[in-house]
C-alpha cells in the first residue's frame, strides 16, 4: 500500500516519490493492452487475395500460432481476424468464447447490464475465459484472487499471461514480486523492464520507482527520471507529478521552473490531488486567487487536508459573488483523460 507522503520533504529525502498501488481501488481497469486501429473489416475473400500478393498463405499457420496472435487482440479486432479465412475462424473460436466470458465477468464485477454485483460469479466467468486462453481474463481473475489474499493463485495467473506476452500481466507480475512475502525485487525489475520497453506506462512508473530507490537494481536517479518522463508523456498522472518534482529539485533532470510548473499543472488537471494543492499554492503566490481556490478546493475534496486552511484564507479575501462563482467552477470541473 502507498504510504502518505509529505508535500515537500528535504532534498536529501528520496521518499518524495511514492509507489503506485497494484490496483485502482475505484475499480478502474488495470489491463492496458495496445490496440491496433482498423478502418475496415477484412472479408475472407479479401484476406485470401492479399495473402497471394506476397506469396504467403497465412491460412496455413498452425492453430497454436494463430492463438498466440489472437490473445493480444481486442474484441473488435478479434472478430475482424476471425473473418480472415476459415482456418482463422476455427482457431480463434475459443478466444471469441473467452471474450463473452470476459463481458459477463465485468458485468458481475461492476454490477452492469442489469445484474447485481457478484464477485464469485465474476471470478468464475474470468476463470472460464482464462481457461480458453484469454490473457485479459487471466489478469482480471488474478486481481480478484489478490484482493482475496490468494496471492499465489494471482501470481500464477499473471505469470501465465506474461508468458503469453500480455503487457498488463507482465506489469502486475512485476509489482506482485515487490509485494509478496518474501519480496523478489530482482525478478520484479526484470518483468517491469519487459513491460516498460513495450510502452506500458504503469510499468514504466513502477520501474522508475525501483531505480529511484535502488530496489532490485542499483539506484540511478537519472535513469529513474527518464522512465518517469516516458510514463508521464504516455499519460500516467503519478509520473507527471514526479517529473515535476524532478525538474523542481534537479533530480535526474536539469532544473527548469517552466517544466516543473507545466507537469504539475498537467497532473492537477488530471485529478492528482497533491498536484492540485501544489498548483493552487503556486497560483496564489502569483495573485491568481480565483484559480488558486478552484485547485485548492479540488485538492481538499481529494483528501488533501492541508489545502483546506489555505483555501479558507483566500475565500475570506473574496466577495460573496466571487465565492459562489468559484464553487460553481469546482462543481463543473472534470478531470482530463489519462492512462492511470
What integer pLDDT is reported at residue 250 of this predicted model? 97
* pLDDT in the model for residue 36: 35
Say how far apart CA 293 and CA 15 lie, in whole Å: 28
Residue numbers in the chain where pLDDT is lower than 70: 1-75, 78, 83-85, 88, 91
Q: What is the CB neighbour count within 10 angstroms for residue 221?
A: 17
CA angle at residue 162 from 242 to 212, to 5 degrees?
25
pLDDT at 43: 39
| Cα 69–Cα 160–Cα 93 angle in degrees, nearest 5 | 40
pLDDT of residue 10: 34
Task: Tell me the pTM.
Answer: 0.78
- CA pair distance 267, 223, nearest whole angstrom: 21
Radius of gyration of the chain (CA): 23
Residue 68 has a pLDDT of 62
Residues whose CB is less than 8 angstroms from the CB of residue 242 and which lie 6 or more positions away in sequence, other chains included? 16, 17, 205, 208, 228, 232
Cα–Cα distance for residue pair 163/157, rounded to 1 Å: 10
> What are the pLDDT digits (tens) for 29-45?
444 333 333 333 333 43
Q: Which domains does the chain have, with CATH numbers?
A: 61-140 (no CATH), 166-233 (1.25.40.10), 266-339 (no CATH)
Residue-level pLDDT at 93: 81
Q: What pLDDT does 90 receive?
A: 74
The pLDDT value given to residue 19? 40
Q: What is the pLDDT of residues 244-261, one digit of tens each?
A: 999 999 999 999 999 999
pLDDT at 333: 96
Amino acid at each position: 500500500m502507498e504510504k502518505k507522503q509529505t508535500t515537500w520533504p528535504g532534498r536529501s529525502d528520496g521518499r518524495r516519490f511514492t509507489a503506485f498501488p497494484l490496483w485502482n481501488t475505484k475499480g478502474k481497469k488495470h489491463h492496458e493492452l495496445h490496440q491496433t486501429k482498423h478502418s475496415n473489416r477484412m472479408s475472407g475473400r479479401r484476406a485470401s487475395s492479399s495473402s497471394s500478393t506476397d506469396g504467403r498463405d497465412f491460412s496455413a499457420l498452425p492453430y497454436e500460432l494463430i492463438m498466440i496472435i489472437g490473445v493480444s487482440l481486442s474484441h473488435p479486432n478479434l472478430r475482424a481476424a476471425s473473418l480472415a479465412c476459415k482456418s482463422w475462424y476455427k482457431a480463434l473460436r475459443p478466444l471469441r468464447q473467452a471474450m463473452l466470458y470476459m463481458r459477463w465477468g465485468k458485468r458481475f464485477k461492476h454490477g452492469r447490464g442489469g445484474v447485481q454485483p457478484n464477485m464469485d460469479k465474476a471470478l468464475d466467468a474470468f476463470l472460464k475465459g482464462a481457461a480458453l486462453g484469454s490473457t485479459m481474463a487471466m489478469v482480471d481473475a488474478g486481481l480478484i484472487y489478490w484482493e482475496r489474499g490468494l496471492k499465489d493463485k494471482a501470481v500464477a495467473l499473471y505469470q501465465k499471461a506474461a508468458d503469453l506476452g500480455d503487457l498488463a500481466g507482465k506489469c502486475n507480475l512485476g509489482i506482485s514480486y515487490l509485494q509478496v512475502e518474501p519480496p523478489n525485487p530482482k525478478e520484479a525489475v526484470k518483468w517491469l523492464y519487459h513491460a516498460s520497453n513495450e510502452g506500458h506506462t504503469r510499468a514504466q512508473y513502477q520501474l522508475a520507482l525501483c531505480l529511484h530507490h535502488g530496489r532490485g537494481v542499483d539506484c540511478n536517479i537519472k535513469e529513474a527520471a527518464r522512465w518517469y518522463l516516458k510514463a508521464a508523456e504516455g499519460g500516467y498522472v503519478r509520473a507527471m507529478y514526479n517529473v515535476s518534482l524532478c525538474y523542481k529539485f534537479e533530480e535526474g533532470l536539469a532544473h527548469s521552473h517552466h517544466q516543473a510548473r507545466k507537469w504539475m499543472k498537467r497532473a492537477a488537471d488530471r485529478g492528482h490531488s497533491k498536484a492540485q494543492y501544489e498548483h493552487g499554492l503556486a497560483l496564489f503566490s502569483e495573485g491568481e486567487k480565483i484559480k488558486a481556490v478552484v485547485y485548492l478546493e479540488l485538492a481538499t475534496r481529494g483528501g488533501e487536508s492541508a489545502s483546506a486552511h489555505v483555501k479558507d484564507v483566500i475565500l475570506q479575501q473574496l466577495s460573496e459573488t466571487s465565492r459562489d462563482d468559484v464553487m460553481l467552477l469546482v462543481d463543473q470541473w472534470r478531470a482530463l483523460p489519462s492512462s492511470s
